[in-house]
Amino acid sequence: MPPTLVLVGHGMVGQRFLEELAERGVTATHRVVVLCEEPRPAYDRVQLTSYFAGRTPDELSLTDPEFLTRHGIELRVDDPVEHVDRRARTVTARSGFTVAYDTLVLATGSYPFVPPVPGRDTPGCFVYRTIEDVLAIEEYATKHATTGAVVGGGLLGLEAAGALQGLGLTTHIVEFAPRLMPAQVDEGGGAALLRTLTGRGLSVHTGVGTQEIVASDEGTVAAMRLSDGSELATEMVVFSAGVRPRDQLARDCGLPVGERGGITVDGQCRTGDPAVYAIGECAQAADGRVYGLVAPGYEMARTAADAIASGTGQAFTGADLSTKLKLLGVDVASFGDAHGAADGCLDVVYSDSRSGTYKKLVVGAGGELLGGVLVGDAESYGTLRALTGQVPPVPAEQLVLPAGAGESKALGPEALPGDAVICTCHNVTKAAIQACATLPEVRKCTKAGTGCGSCVKLVGQLLPDSGDRGLCGCFPHTRAELYEIVRVRRVTSYARLLDTHGREGARGGEGCETCKPAVGSIIASLAPAIGVDGYVLDGEQAALQDTNDHFLANLQKNGSYSVVPRVPGGEITPEKLIVIGEVARDFGLYTKITGGQRIDMFGARVEQLPLIWARLVDAGFESGHAYGKALRTVKSCVGWTWCRYGVQDSVRMAIDLELRYRGLRAPHKLKSAVSGCARECAEARSKDFGVIATSGGWNLYVGGNGGATPRHGDLLAQDLDDAELVRLIDRFLMFYIRTADRLERTSTWLERIDGGVEHVRDVVVHDSLGLGAELEALMAEHVTHYRDEWAATLDDPERLARFVSFVNAPGAPDPTVAFVPEREQIKPDLPLLAIGSRRAADLEGTSA
C-alpha cells in the first residue's frame, strides 16, 4: 500500500499545494485524500466580489476535475474534519468517514472575526468570506434591504462595500481605526482613498466602533448603534472586521498554537508533530506571523511540498506582503516598508486631492527604496516593488511626480536588475521571465501572472515584441475584434468578456485602465442591440467609465465641474437663453460661448449639478455630452434661411443630425458641421464628418480634424439628397465605431485603415462587404432607444445619491473648490504651493 497523505481544507492554498505535489511526483507515489468543509471545490476567493459583476460560482472555480482524476486525488466536499487522532494517525470527518494518514497537512484557512456586540446574530447580519455568504447577502439584499452597512474598512471590508453598492444599496462603511485600510496605507493614503470613495457615493465612518445591532419590531436589523452615541439606520450588516486562524483542530489534538492563534510551524511548515504540516492562514510561521494573503500561502504550499517530496527545500522565513488591488474602482497598492518603520528613513510624497492621487515612497538613509504607498495611480507599482531594497537609478522625487510635471521620470522594465522579483506570488525574477519568448510560455514555465495578476502588465513589457496587436495585457484581441465578440455573442458585462475572451492570466482579474473604458464604450454603443440598458452609471458600467462620466460633467482643474447643455445646430430661443443666464447667475457660474456654438457654464460643485440640471431639463435642455466619448456638436451657419449665398437649409440639417446622433458612444469624441454653401462658414471639412451644401444636394466629407494635428476631411460622396446623406452617415459612423482602435479619432483611423478613404467609400457607399443594412440597423437601434442621461438621473434617487462632495454632510461645499473674480466673472483660485524651492505652478499637487 502506498503511503497516504491527507489534506484538510481545499481553498486556494490547498489547491496550490496539490499542484505542487503533482509537479514533484508525490501524487504518483502517495494516496492523496482531500477533505473539504465547503460544498464546492477550491475557488478564487480573491475575486469573490466579481460574482456581483456577472461571474458565476463555476467561473470562480480553481479546480479542474481532470487534474484530480489524472493524479488520482480523492476529494470529498461538504464533509469537514471533526477529529484528528495523532496517536492512531487517523482523521474523522462529520459523515463518519475515517482515513489513516502517514502525512497530514492542515490548510484550514481562517474564519471571519465578528465583534462580540449585542445583536450580532440578528437576521440581516452576515459575514463576507465564502460563495455561500455572497449568495445569502444577495438574496437578503434583493428581498429585504435598501441600505447596508459594512463593519470594517480593510481590504475585505471595501470589497464587501463594493458588493453592497453593486446590489444597489445605499452603503455605509464603519471602521474603528482613524482611516481606511489601516494595515496597508498611511494617513495620507487613507485620506485620498476616503475622498475618492465618498465621491462615489459611499458613506464612510472612521474612528468609531459598533456598540450594538438594533432590531426592528419584526426582529430583523434596523440600525447600528455606534461608539460615538450616534445611530445608523440600516437594514443589513456585513461583518468584515478581519479574520482569525482556524486552528481549533490543532488545539483539540494537542498541537502547539501561537499566543494569538495560528498553528506554530518551523521553516519547513512542520508542526510540533513531524507527521503534520500546516500551511496558509491557519499557520503561524517561524517568524511569529500569521500571513493573511494568498501569496505567502502559496509559498508555504511550495515549501511543504518540497519537504514532503524530498525532506529538504528552501525554508519559509517570511513573505512579501505587497498588495495591489482595485477597490471600488480605485487603484490601491502598498509594498515593502510602507509605513516607514526603519530607522532613519525619509518619505517622498506626492499628493493631489483633486484627482484623488497619493504616492509615498519610503527611502533609506543610503537612498535605497524601502517601500511605498500608491492610491489612485498605481501604474508604477510593478517596477517600484521590484526595485525595493535597491537605490533607484533616478532620485525618488522624480518617481512620484505625474508625467510631464517638472523632472518626472517613469522607469521602464529595463531599469530592473535580472534578480528583481517580478511575480511575488511565485517568486519569479526578471531573468527567468526573459528566458521565455511568449506570455503563455512564461505562465507554463514559471507560473508568473497566474496568481493575483498584478504582474501581468510588467511581464508583458519584459518579453520581446511578438507582434501582439491585443488591446492591452488583458485581451489578445484588438478593439475591433472585441466589438465583434460583444455584438455577435451579445456579451453584456465586462467581467464576462474578460473571463471568456481575456488572456489566460487576466481571466478572473479586475482588468486595467486601458480596456475597461474601451469595453464600457463598446457595450454602451451596442446597448440596444445586445439587450442592455445603455445608461452609463448603472451596475458594472459605472466602474468602467472615465472620470468625467462618473458625474456626467467635465472635471475642471480646481475640482469644480462644467455644465454644457445641448444646443442643436447652435439654434436657441430667447427664452432658453434667459434660462441659461438665470442658472449661471443664480449658481455663480462662469459662462463662455464656445466654438461649437454652445454656452458652457463652469464652476459648479458636484452637489450643485443635480440642482442645475433640474432647472435646465425643466426648460427643455438635455445633456450636451461634453464629458463623453460621444457626439459633441453639429455646428452650422445660418444657411439659405438668412444668408443670400446659402443654397440649402443648413440649420435644419445640423439640428436633425445632432438629434439623431446625440449620445452615440464612440472610440473618441465626434464633431460635425453643416455649411449652407461652398463658402464653408461652419468649417465642415475640419470635422469628423462634415456636410457642405451644393445646388444639387449635399457633399459629405469624413475624417477631418481641427485638433492638435489638423486634417481636412476627404470627400466621401456628393450631391446627396437628405435621405441618402443620413443613410451614408449612419453607415460611416457605425463602421468607424466597429473598426477603430481605442481613443482613435476618425482622422487617424482613416489614415490607418487599409485602403484609406477608398476602402471606406467601397464599404459605406457601395456596400462592398454587404454590411450596409446591418450598420443602418445598429444606428436605428441607437436612435430608437436614446434617452437623455441627465433626465434619467434626476428621475432616480439612487443615481442622485452619488452627487455629493461629502457623504457624511450632504450639501456641504468642498472647501478646496474656490474662485476669485476676473472680468466680472469667476476663475479658479489656484494658490501656489511651495515644494522645496520649486513653485507649485510647475506641478499639480504636492511633493516633498
Q: Residues comprising the binding site? A: 637, 643, 677, 681
| Interstrand relation of 276-278 and 103-106 (parallel, antiparallel or unpaired) | parallel
Alpha-helical regions (H) of 71-130: none
Extract the annotated binding site for [4Fe-4S] cluster: 637, 643, 677, 681
Phi, psi of 728 (to 5 degrees): -75, -35
> In angstroms, rounded to a whole number, what is the distance separating the alpha carbons of residues 582 and 597?
19
Neighbouring-strand partners of residue 73 = 32
Quote the cell numbers at residue 221.
436589523
Largest CA distance in the chain: 106
Q: Are 196 and 351 in contact (CB under 8 A)?
A: no
Are β-strands 203-206 and 210-215 bridged in parallel, bridged antiparallel, or unpaired? Answer: unpaired
Q: Which three cell numbers stand for residue 459?
A: 511581464
Residues whose CB falls within 8 Å of the CB of residue 634, separated by 6 or more in sequence, listed in order = 568, 569, 654, 655, 657, 658, 661, 672, 673, 674
Cβ atoms 401, 847 nearer than 8 A: yes
Q: Binding site for siroheme: residue ranges?
A: 681
Nearest 10 degrees: CA dihedral of 350, 356, 362, 368?
A: -70
- First CA to last CA distance, the chain: 67
Cα–Cα distance, 82 to 497 (Å, whole number): 41
- Answer for the pair 237, 126: CB distance below 8 angstroms, yes or no: yes
Q: Which amino acid is at 802?
A: R
- Residue 581 is classified by DSSP as H
Q: What does each C-alpha distance from 270 to 300, 315, 838 come to in angstroms? A: 10, 11, 56
Separation of alpha carbons 36 and 62, rounded Å: 14
Q: Which long-range contacts (CB under 8 A, 24 or more apart) does 790-793 make?
A: 790/552, 790/613, 790/616, 790/617, 790/622, 790/623, 791/617, 791/622, 792/535, 793/537, 793/552, 793/610, 793/613
- Nearest alpha-carbon partner for 732 in 706, 693, 771, 699: 771
Give the phi and the psi of residue 64 in degrees, each rounded to 5. Answer: -95, 115
Q: What is the C-alpha to C-alpha distance for residues 525 and 630, in angstroms, rounded to an integer?
A: 9
Alpha-carbon gap, residue 682 to 675, rounded angstroms: 5
**Whole-angstrom Cα distance, residue 744 to residue 755?**
17
Phi, psi of 224 (to 5 degrees): -120, 135
CA dihedral 338, 339, 341, 345 (to 10 degrees): 70
Q: How far apart are CA 685 and CA 401, in angstroms?
A: 40
Say how far apart CA 252 and CA 260 lie, in whole Å: 16
Cell 440640471 found at:
613
Cα 679 to its chain centre, rounded Å, is 48
176: CB partners within 8 A, 6+ apart: 207, 208, 209, 241
Only one residue has cell 489612485, namely 376
66 Cβ contact list (under 8 Å, min separation 6):
none
Sheet (strand 147-151) strand order: 125-127, 236-239, 147-151, 170-175, 203-206
